[in-house]
Structure 1
Amino acid sequence: MSLQLNTLFVTTDGAYLRKDHETVVVRVEETTRIQVPLQHLASVVCFGRVGVSPELMSALAEAGVHVAFFSPTGRSLARVEGVPGGNVVLRRGQFRCADDAARTLELARAMVAGKVYNARQFLLHARRDAAEVRRQGLADAAEQLASSLRALGRAGTLDAVRGVEGNAAREYFAAFPLLVKREEEAFRFGGRSRRPPKDRINALLSFGYALLAQDCAGAAAGVGLDAAVGYLHEERPGRLSLALDLMEELRAAVVDRLVLSLVNRGQVGPGDFVEDAAGGWRMSDAARKTFLVAYQEAKQVEVQHEFLGQQVPWGRVPHLQALLLARVIRGDLEVYPPFRVR
């Protein structure tokens, strides 16, 4: 268990959360592990088999604190919150925009452009410090992503934009092994895999993307948008499509960078993962705690926001992008400016 940036993370299987006066108590095997005042919380995030009392669930909803549940591997299971706030006029504008093919195409193209641009920048930055034998491969992958950016300008349908995004993701992850400096077989990356992750690095990526999606969902809700109604990702029951949209341009810069740092610096080892009977991998409780601490620290690092011309902490970027999207929907901005890394 840990409390960071007004978020209570519960990572221990069998933990049970209950209300004690105006505090949240986390107990494991009849032992109190942590007790946090309700007023200090913005969200509660639970991984694995974690229980929450009905009384506490009600109190959290009334206080505007959402509770998110994830599987041990980081797959989103549920998000519980009270009556949605925000401006109904903004949400109606969001829905109308999602029904407008031209506006949806414009927004989706901008979001994919941000994703591909940042992935390319990430590879180019990594190339500077890479061993000589890896530099050409990284340069070639960066050029492929540059071609994807050019192809976006010719993508005249939403399906075409999604096709460019898919091709760019494949080119990017094909080069990902060049970024892993650990030589052990245990950290061999065999391409992106989900549900379940087929290797240790995929387990880290899935966990990090789940956290980032949760942050983006909270950012969307915080400005009054509906996190389930997006533009790039298709709407499906239970899918937070807008949260997935917002996180695309941040994947490489936030999660991928963090995963490679943890692996390359030896902060996680082969023994920090468990393989299940189906061949999927998940992180140990200790590894999840290590990741969570590093993730929260990374969110406090300041970065230049190109459009705003200001230095802001990484943790604020999803909220700023949600605000910019809301301004586009209202008509205050003509074009959505994706976040771009220098």
Structure 2
Amino acid sequence: MRKLLNTLYVQNPDAYLSLKNENIVVLLEDEEKFSIPLVNIENIVSFGYRGVSPALMGKCCENNIGLYFMSSNGKFLAKITGRTRGNSTTRMRQYELYKDKKWCLDFSKDIVATKIYNTRYVLNRSIRDNKEKVDVSRLIEVSDYIKNNISHVYDFEDIDALRGFEGIVARKYFEVFNDMILKKKDIFNIQGRNKRPPLDYVNCMLSYLYTILSFEFISAIETVGLDPSVGFFHEIRPGRNSLALDLIEPFRAYLVDRVVLSLINLGQIKKQHFEEKEGGAILMTDEGRTIILNAWQEKKKEILRHPNIDEKIEIGLIPFAEAQLLSRTIRERRESYPTFIVK
């Protein structure tokens, strides 16, 4: 297992990134403000519009460092990657499996079952930790619905029907999401999932961190030599990293939703960290992004025992561990990919 490296987030829109003696240098108005050795960085996510020097782009490609460009409101714009890595026969096998409807359906059933199982873990964790502060009956109702219906995932013989069921469970979960919010309920509340653009503070944070998590999975998938655009559960579309979306499903609630709930319930994020645009779109301020990214980076440092490799690893290494497991599954033609079930 490789060492956990860091993601460099550059939030100032006027920042320019360059290379100096194997160091990443951040410049503002041509003045050096910050530098960090390349060897300490795994990904760079820039919210600026001034750009990155060609020398740094080349070095990132050479060292397999993900370089991603975002708009100020967190919309993905572009990425720069180096040469394709890994064994080409593994990718060929990936494309073959994409055409195998049975394998795709079986893979998708495991992904959906694991996602809703891990979602139930989040509900039950909230019941256990905050039973004096939450509407326990509402949370138990959805938890029991998942418990009683999770086995039905394996009854579906059509992937579209499976997607429909996954959508039903997701809607039920988000219907009680507000019940897990303990502070400032008048400000932080969610009326179902909405995005592009998000229309409330909670959806703004969720969408932002889901995007960040997807970047980390894209980087891991490319590192092991798979194609992040060819998935088995999510449909292939131009510009969509379907395989990354497949792999993040079991981790949405377990990682992202819990970070968002903690930020709200601990009072770390406030109304002042957002701004509303015409039409109702909600954006984060620079300070808001900094708070959220700091919480995310701290979360990634936590240690857990990975259920499928029986090793203690940092949470930040989960994307790489999952990409390795899937690559091995594809390469060795195993019948199923071992999904991450929270215990």
TM above 0.5: yes
Q: What corresponds to 1:205 in structure 2?
A: 206
Matched, 1:179 2:180: yes
Q: Deviations over 1:123-146 (max 9, x none)?
A: 011111233660000000112222
Shift of 1:50: 4.6
Q: Deviations over 1:212-248 (max 9, x none)?
A: 1011111111211111111111111111111111100
* C-alpha distance in 2 between matches for 1:150 and 1:174: 22
* C-alpha distance in 1 between matches for 2:43 and 2:107: 29
Q: What corresponds to 1:330 in structure 2?
A: 331
Q: What corresponds to 2:49 in structure 1?
A: 49
Shift of 1:65: 1.9
Preserved CA contact (<8 Å) 2:134 2:179: no
Structure 1 residue runs without a partner (length 5+): none
Matched, 1:76 2:76: yes
CA change 1:205–1:245 in 2 (3 A) is same
Query: Which range moves more in the overlay, 310-319 or 166-175?
Result: 310-319
* C-alpha distance in 2 between matches for 1:254 and 1:180: 16
Structure-2-length-normalised TM-score: 0.94
Preserved CA contact (<8 Å) 1:144 1:171: no
CA change 1:44–1:268 in 2 (3 A) is same
Quote the RMSD (CA, aligned, Å). 1.7
* C-alpha distance in 1 between matches for 2:169 and 2:161: 12
Q: What corresponds to 1:140 in structure 2?
A: 141
Aligned ranges 1:1-342 → 2 under 5 Å: 5-128=5-128, 129-131=130-132, 134-331=135-332, 333-342=334-343
* C-alpha distance in 1 between matches for 2:309 and 2:56: 39
Preserved CA contact (<8 Å) 2:127 2:134: no
* C-alpha distance in 2 between matches for 1:236 and 1:62: 28
Shift of 1:91: 0.6
Q: Deviations over 1:236-266 (max 9, x none)?
A: 1111111111100001111000000001101
CA change 1:214–1:50 in 2 (3 A) is farther
Query: Which range moves more in the overlay, 130-139 or 117-126?
Result: 130-139
Return the letter of the residue paired with 1:266: G
Preserved CA contact (<8 Å) 1:113 1:149: yes
Structure-1-length-normalised TM-score: 0.94
* C-alpha distance in 2 between matches for 1:48 and 1:113: 39
Secondary structure of the 2:8 match is: strand
Shift of 1:58: 2.3
Preserved CA contact (<8 Å) 1:73 1:206: no
CA change 1:182–1:340 in 2 (3 A) is same
Give the aligned length: 339
Query: Which range moves more in the overlay, 51-60 or 89-98?
Result: 51-60
Shift of 1:48: 4.6
Shift of 1:114: 1.1
Shift of 1:322: 1.4
* C-alpha distance in 1 between matches for 2:21 and 2:275: 38
Q: Which runs of 4+ in 1 moved over 4 A?
A: none
Shift of 1:172: 0.8
* C-alpha distance in 2 between matches for 1:234 and 1:73: 26
Shift of 1:72: 2.7
Shift of 1:161: 1.5
* C-alpha distance in 2 between matches for 1:331 and 1:277: 52
Q: Deviations over 1:97-135 (max 9, x none)?
A: 011111111111111111110001110111112336600
Structure 2 residue runs without a partner (length 5+): none
* C-alpha distance in 2 between matches for 1:37 and 1:314: 23
CA change 1:310–1:20 in 2 (3 A) is closer
Return the letter of the residue paired with 2:286: D
Shift of 1:321: 1.5
